[in-house]
Amino acid sequence: MRRAVCPGSFDPIHNGHLEVIARAAGLFDEVIVAVSTNQAKKYRFTLTERLEMARETLASLKGIVVEPVGEGLLAEYCRQRGVSAIVKGLRSSSDFDYELPMATMNRQLSGVETVFLPAEAHYLHLSSTLIKEVAGLGGNVSDYVPRSVQRRMLAGEPPHNQ
């Protein structure tokens, strides 16, 4: 079985993420959507909420598993789970500059390859940060996030640390 991982904070998951995950599912037998937690980061949504939003949104797609990933090395997680590829979406050359050293390090650490998928043009500008800013200022983000995310954003909960 060829298994890949799509890692991210997904705070929250948005249509740019979903598009890349769906394309990854067409390339691999199983795709793990690995929702990360980093104590140094301040999240808008709890880990439980980020997992729920991803699971609710991806429930209808076959071959996709959503699970939390701890603070350790992603390369080690891939080795333990028999993951042969990390799939990342690329929006820009700055994404590439940021991702390339990590891809090389991950391959050297555990042999896992990184597969880069060019972001869909319609979602090139999307980031979780921008979506939170627009929604926080009262803008309509319904074209950019799935319903389960929109619902939670409208509920307007305060920031969390986890």
The reply to whether 60 belongs to the active site is no
DSSP assigned state of 43: B
Sequence-distant (6+) residues with CB within 8 A of 125 are: 91
Residue nearest ligand COD by beta-carbon distance: 89
Between CA 113 and CA 130 the distance in angstroms is 29
Q: Of 50-89, which residues contact ligand COD (CB under 6 A)?
A: 73-75, 88-89
Between CA 99 and CA 36 the distance in angstroms is 16
How many residues make up the chain in this entry?
162
Among the residue ranges 5-13, 23-31, 58-66, 154-162, the one whose residues contact ligand COD (CB under 6 A): 5-13
Q: Of 24-53, which residues contact ligand COD (CB under 6 A)?
A: 36
The reply to whether 42 belongs to the active site is no
User: Which residues contribute to the site for ligand COD (CB under 6 A)?
Assistant: 7-10, 16-17, 20, 36, 73-75, 88-89, 91, 102, 105-106, 119, 123, 126-128
